[in-house]
Amino acid sequence: MNPEEENERLRKENKGLREALEKACKEKEQLKKENKDMKKIFTTLKQISECRGKKDLVKTITKALNKLAFYESPNMPSSAPKLNTPNLNSESNKPKRKRGGQKGHKPANRKKPDKIDDAEVISLTHCPICSTKLGDWFSLRWRIAEDVVFENFVKSILYIILLYYCPKCKKSVSGIPLDILPKMNFGTNVTVLTPFLKYKYRLTFKLIRKFFKDFFGFTASEGAYAYQIKKIAKILRKPYKDIEDEIRNSESIGVDETGEKWLGGKAWGWQYLTKLASLYKLERTRSHEALHKTVGDNYDGGVNCDGHGACNFLKNAKKQRCWEHIWRPARCKIKEGEASRELEGFYKKLVHILKLADSYKKKNFPFKDADKVKNRYYRILGNHIEKLYKDPTVKKIIASIHKYWEKDELFTFLEYKDLNYHNNNTERELREEVIQRKISGGVKSDEGAECRSILRSVIKTYEKKGMDFMEEVKKLI
């Protein structure tokens, strides 16, 4: 082989090697790129695997955030932005109606006083801005303000009681001051105001003593105020009995009870409510005996109540079970952010059915045939609950509905004017008793239990009837 042929062969081999090298470099770059992509995929898969392993932790954190968003922190100022809430300044979240009173809304202006006790002319001699001397006034405007006057209102009265001798009875006789109770050193205003402060405004005896001292300069011991309350309670025994009779003879009542403390032991406060009467009774028992003692064994009116079993012993009464208690499990789940879509839909539809029935009652009561109206809403309710549900809370609510359906205790409010589908009115009335119990720590004696039952009942009943408690009690004194 000559040199030229050898060179040609080497050139071809060199060219082939060069092409093979370029090809190998390209394959290397391709493999690097694929390796980089595989690393990304591997990292993503690893993250997904870790997230799946921490699924329970994610659920716990989500639940905590939902609760925090609902309850919020009590230490956060009201001006701070709320958690997980949209920006209120955005166009989509702006209210559709303007602020303030709406068109056609009845104004709630303060009533002007019937009489003017004093008048004061506000005049100027120099301008308050530049101190220029002013001439005569050319017009006027006026405004009325009401205020209280703090003065020493204590009035000491000397009663000079003349004694006479009766020749027929053969003994001395005398008149009785009408403005004070026997064996009392206080007038009727102090005597009547004391129980009003105690059981209307829930002041302790220490605060009552301070109130009279600070505002009237009047001093007395805490025991003296307690003695006045006992005296007034004895005077109001008859009105209290009349309230009890009014409850017993009413067409419908609301009933509820709450825990109490009596001499350090357990007791129960029973609340009975009508449109114009409120009766509160402290009892040693939570059983049906307390109910029978107040309304009687044969009460045959309508009864607003919750699920307490004692009401089952009112055999002749027509009971309306509180729907707020029935669907409470759903409301709790929704508030805590744990409700399923099925539960939310079921709850909204259930509330809608009751709102429809209540709205229809307000527009058309009394009905010619109340049973026909009830059956209509029973059918609507039946169509709603007969579906197959998987949520355990829905099943629990449906079980409660079936329980009261069998006894016809779900739409009784359509038969009575003053019955509601809930027992909220009675519970609101009872809430004040719970506050009273927390302030006082319960009653410390049997007399205290009687005083509280009588005075709370009379004060609230007079308030419902638009009667002045202090004036009515003064008449009885």
Give 10-residue mean pLDDT values along the chain (477 residues). Answer: 74 81 84 82 73 67 66 51 51 65 77 84 87 87 77 77 87 83 83 93 93 87 92 94 95 94 90 95 92 91 92 92 94 90 94 94 92 94 92 94 94 94 93 90 91 95 94 88
Return the structure tokens found at 368. Answer: 């010619």
Instruction: Give the bridge partners for 280, in sequence order.
Output: 271
Nearest of 477, 365, 468 to residue 418 by alpha carbon: 365
pLDDT in tens, 136-178: 888 888 888 877 766 667 778 888 888 888 888 888 888 888 7
**What is the rounded CA–CA span in Å between residue 58 and residue 45?**
18
- For the chain, the residue count is 477
Question: Is the Cα dihedral 392, 393, 396, 401 positive or negative?
Answer: negative
Nearest of 309, 279, 313 to residue 298 by alpha carbon: 313
User: How does strand 278-283 pair with strand 302-305?
Assistant: unpaired
**What is the rounded CA–CA span in Å between residue 292 and residue 299?**
9
CB atoms < 10 A from the CB of 29, how many?
Answer: 10
- Return the amino acid letter for 309: G
Per-residue confidence (pLDDT) for residue 55, from 0 to 100: 66
Query: Nearest 5 degrees, angle CA 120-CA 124-CA 125?
Result: 140
Query: Nearest 5 degrees, angle CA 69-CA 71-CA 74?
Result: 110
Question: Who contacts 89 (Cβ-Cβ below 8 Å, separation ≥6)?
Answer: none
CB atoms < 10 A from the CB of 444, how many?
Answer: 13
Question: Is the Cα dihedral 134, 139, 141, 142 positive or negative?
Answer: positive
**What are φ and ψ of residue 473, in 5° steps?**
-70, -35
376 and 349 Cβ atoms separated by less than 8 Å:
no
Per-residue confidence (pLDDT) for residue 138, from 0 to 100: 85
**What is the rounded CA–CA span in Å between residue 189 and residue 149?**
18
pLDDT in tens, 295-322: 988 999 999 999 898 999 999 999 999 9
**What is the rounded CA–CA span in Å between residue 293 and residue 310?**
12
Long-range contacts of residues 308-313, Cβ cutoff 8 Å, at least 24 apart: 308/257, 310/286, 311/255, 312/288, 313/288
**What is the rounded CA–CA span in Å between residue 97 and residue 323?**
33
Per-residue confidence (pLDDT) for residue 304, from 0 to 100: 94
Half-sphere exposure of 87 (CA within 13 A, CB side): 4
Per-residue confidence (pLDDT) for residue 89, from 0 to 100: 53
**What is the rounded CA–CA span in Å between residue 279 and residue 270?**
8
**What is the rounded CA–CA span in Å between residue 428 and residue 73?**
26
Per-residue confidence (pLDDT) for residue 91, from 0 to 100: 57
**What is the rounded CA–CA span in Å between residue 281 and residue 455?**
11
Q: Which residue has the tokens 């030229």?
A: 4
**What is the rounded CA–CA span in Å between residue 70 and residue 473?**
48
**What is the rounded CA–CA span in Å between residue 295 and residue 301?**
10
